[in-house]
Structure 1
Amino acid sequence: MAIEIPLQDLIQTAVRAGWDEPEVLTAIIEVADNLMLAHGSNAELDALLKALKRNLE
């Protein structure tokens, strides 16, 4: 995977900075989860705005 090596580098950098590996992985999962939630919210908002625009036309 194209993202695997940069992600491993990020984990190693965080561990060298003093984080425990499970902490790093938990933080990455939390960030990914937040990004997915935001993406879903944006998609729902876009759909609502398109529906409103159609209703106004």
Structure 2
Amino acid sequence: MITDEDGNAQTVTTDANGAYTAIVVAAGDATVDIDETTFQQEQFKQKEQTQQR
């Protein structure tokens, strides 16, 4: 789930490689909540990327 500064939320699903795409409409910060219960133990590595508008 990705929630922008205005409270707009969207659910995203990863592909086979764990990548996802989301369009955050509002400028500012966004929060990403990850459901770790869906990961296998060896998949807990995370790479974060942020993009400023």
TM-score where L is the length of structure 1: 0.23
Bigger radius of gyration, 1 or 2? 1
Give the structure, 1 or 2, with the largest relative contact order (CA under 8 Å, sep 6 or more): 2
Structure with the largest fraction of strand: 2
TM-score where L is the length of structure 2: 0.24
Structure with the largest fraction of helix: 1
